[in-house]
Amino acid sequence: DVKVTQSSRYLVKRTGEKVFLECVQDMDHENMFWYRQDPGLGLRLIYFSYDVKMKEKGDIPEGYSVSREKKERFSLILESASTNQTSMYLCASSPGQTNSPLHFGNGTRLTVT
Amino acid sequence: GENVEQHPSTLSVQEGDSAVIKCTYSDSASNYFPWYKQELGKRPQLIIDIRSNVGEKKDQRIAVTLNKTAKHFSLHITETQPEDSAVYFCAAKAGNNAGNMLTFGGGTRLMVKP
């Protein structure tokens, strides 16, 4: 069974702090994604990566950056956290084949005060 | 880019009744339409998907239909049970995007009353 692990389930940070959200998958998947989940807005894609050191902007990349130095790890970085980045963050991975299902992590609920 | 609208945002049904959730998409090049279920406090999981060369797909009590001309697709759950209570997300993937990037709808909270 695919395991996607997010380092923290709950995180509280102050405005202006630099925040790192870590995600690790154990199935050698090529694709990795960071989504943000807000009520009524569904899952919105922040960034994704289809290979090591490759990254592509999603629908809402502003205020975020990512890093993929190793195939199994995809990090989301908030350079200077703001209160409007309070949200649930979901990491996902999928194999490189077309139309492969996404495997999600349990999510990190980030609160920025 | 792709835009996916999902309705209704909440749906309450009696156990045993059917539930229907509808989604529309904007990009006529989209060719893959999965549905994810997220139970309370858990991660979203794929429950069924359909490709653009198919009009309908069934898996036990759930079915998905696709109307390419109208650019809409629907999830049908028959004989609903309390364990069907969850948030359901539809999604669409444009045909020419790398990395299988999906655009999700806003979600439907389904409540099945015993």
pLDDT at A2: 67
Instruction: Using 50 as the pLDDT threshold, list the residues of chain A that sit under it.
Output: none
For residue B95, name the pLDDT band (cuts at 50, 70, 90).
low
- For residue B2, pLDDT over 90 is answered with no
Instruction: Copy the structure tokens of residue B65.
Output: 């239909």
A71 DSSP β-pair partners: none
- Give the nearest partner residue to A98 out of B45, B100, B104, using CB atoms: B100
Tens of pLDDT, residue by residue over B12-32, are 999 999 999 999 999 988 989
Q: What is the mean pLDDT of chain B?
A: 93
Contact A86, A111 (CB under 8 A): yes
Q: How far apart are CA B90 and CA B33, in angstroms?
A: 7
Classify A69 as helix, strand or coil: strand
Q: How far apart are CA B106 and CA B24, in angstroms?
A: 11
Contact A67, A2 (CB under 8 A): no
Residues in chain B: 114
For residue B94, name the pLDDT band (cuts at 50, 70, 90).
confident
Tens of pLDDT, residue by residue over B40-56, are 999 999 999 998 888 99
- Give the nearest partner residue to B1 out of A31, A56, A59, using CB atoms: A59
pLDDT at B99: 62
Q: How far apart are CA A67 and CA A73, in angstroms?
A: 8
Q: For residues B99 and A84, which has the higher predicted lDDT (pLDDT)?
A: A84
**A41 touching chain B per CB within 8 A:** yes
Q: How far apart are CA B43 and CA B68, in angstroms?
A: 29
Helix (H) and strand (E) counts in chain A: 0, 11
Measured between beta carbons, the chain B residues lying within 8 angstroms of A49 are 99
Percent of chain A with pLDDT over 90: 84
Instruction: Copy the structure tokens of residue A109.
Output: 């609920």
> Residue A50's closest chain B neighbor by CA?
B99
- Give the nearest partner residue to A50 out of B51, B98, B107, using CB atoms: B98
Q: How far apart are CA B100 and CA A95, in angstroms?
A: 9
- For residue B98, pLDDT over 70 is answered with no
Contact A38, A88 (CB under 8 A): yes
pLDDT at B4: 95
Give me the residue label for tokens 């950056």. Answer: A65
The residue type at B103: T
